[in-house]
Structure 1
Amino acid sequence: MISHAEVVRTAESIAAIQQDDGGVPWPEGHVDAWNHVECLMAMSVAGLGEPVRRGYAWLARHQRPDGSWPMKLVDGVATEQGGETNHAAYVAAGLWHHHLVTGDQAFTEEHWPMVKAALDYVAGLQTERGEIVWERDAHGVASTLALLTGCSSIHQGLRCGVLLADHLGDPQPHWELAADRLAHVLVAHPEAFADKSRFSMDWYYPVLGGAVRGRQAFELLEREWATFVVPGLGIRCVSDQPWVTGAETCELVLALDALGDRERAVTLFTDVQHLRHEDGAYWTGWQFANRKHFPHERSGYTAAAVVLAADALLALTPGSGLFRDIVGTSVSDPETCGCAAGTGLVRRDDL
């Protein structure tokens, strides 16, 4: 485990890479809204109010009229114009987290219109079956592809948006319905999603995002535990490479914490501390066959995942239960999506 002072130092390593315009970049220099928000959440945990405010100003400045953000921006200029739905949805998780941590009602009210536009963009890309496609491209054309990890994160964003809406007295029942329908698809319709099963995120994200909990969640994690978990090091990013990554490991820590599995959560969090640098930042990953950091970088989003996992385990802020408390029920009526699967967790291998 790490101390509160070490958590703050890690958050400060994120603030150190924030650009003058408020964006928090990837190591190669571009900014996307999802990772940007993750970094703002981590800085909120550490009480770094000024960088967080600049980060939300960045989001407000770059949101487009349809509610989305460009997929990638470099020095404030969009280099990839498509608008990803999971990027837009995570802004709701970020603002709700900020409200829980700070209680800043004025800040929440100020940025509520941004969240409303973002989640309406997301809900508008839900299919008849219930999955939400991953983007609307640069020409405004909706993709036909849905991603399981992205939709799991969207589920969390929609639930956070509902909580924000209720708190502010501006209910948005269509978001709750969209989240219910999405949860059902995540549980019962693996065929709705592109096959990315070699990525560990597709394994644990339905738990992390709150769509799968309880016995089904434990069964889901047990199914691929040996595939992805490398004892003493963390978890693999992909199943077929000898490469553990800090962000994925800490997200699994958050998923385990959400299930009350504290023992394994603490073990994994302790294991991944080999990626910590003396300045408080974290290496992105470790290639354990070659025994080298790979890629050779310390990324803000990895540091952010560490801070959020530490908060969950140590209860440093009132936002420490963000991932634990976001749970919703999926649609159980088969007529809603025309299936007969009910809410039993269906495996991709069963198809």
Structure 2
Amino acid sequence: MEKLLKVINVSKKYENQSGNALSNISFEVDKGKLLAIVGESGSGKTTLLKLLAGVEETDSGQILLEEKPVTGPSFNLVPGHKQVKLLFQDFRLFPNITLYQNIEYVLRAYSKSFQKERISEMLQLCKLTHLQDRYPRELSGGEQQRAALARALADEPLLLLLDEPFSNMDVRLKGQLKEDLIDIISKSHTTAIVVTHEASDALSMADTIAVIKSGQILQADTPQGIYKQPLSPYTAQFFGTCTIVKAQDLIPYMKEQLQTKKSMPYPKDTLICIRAEHIHLGTSECFHMKATISKISYYGAYYQVVASVDKRLQLTFHTTNAFLSKGERVPLCIDTEAIHYFYA
């Protein structure tokens, strides 16, 4: 697969910060693929996008787009790389001109015939043809986002960067916009990077996910790899409900199963990660321990149950059983094949 973007040991520090905003960031993006950069607020996600777009300088390292350096404002009279488009969550459409004119503006260097043809293509791609004469204020939030996408894609950028594109949207609208975004990016064969703090958005959209924390990439992998083989407790917990316990605390209840899983003794600080969907109510065929239910939360499709085995061991699991009650003592079964280990 052809690599469109290469980020090599990039670091960035701001004068008013004690530590680095980004530290030795490295990753690659294949042409035509979508990368999701996921992390908490303040982790360095937006800073990274600004460096990729060439609107801020790197302190060290290198960013290559089609093997050519992406440089910052000190190298360019007008900040920003011409073939990289950065879309912020406020869309930044020109308010006093129509949707058609917003797209036309980015194509002003081209012939009138090309402009007309390209604008028509973008309006059709983004399902906005019937809204072309409206002003941004007359568009809904979803329509504004599609309009910003149409404008960004009009002059065929090599790389599209989106900063929190679904922020402050209700669940129904976000679901529809996510489908629209994936469809538009796929049909336009655009390489894209989406920044988000929502794990579910990244899992459902991306070809590859990069997890960032405190300015460092903790892991970059496929959505399946991130979810099933996390490299750190932080990544495991960010991408779904899970119980993380010391192996030594679980061994008394599952000694035989854990020894079968790993023949050598566990190091003292070994941690075990068990996702909520891999803990079940016990049966005659599978029983590992008994636990007392301390909390039950209803999530529509399932109940999330917290149960204490002893003072050191508390497990969280999902069930559709609607007849459990707080204080009830229940048998539990753990899917040992799905257990994940973190070695110190």
Using the size of structure 2 for normalisation, the TM-score is: 0.24
Normalised to the residue count of structure 1, the TM-score between the two structures is: 0.24
For CA contacts below 8 A with separation 6 or more, give which structure has more relative contact order: 1
Normalized per residue, the structure richer in strand is: 2
Please identify the structure whose Cα radius of gyration is greater. 2
Q: Which structure shows the bigger proportion of residues in helix conformation?
A: 1
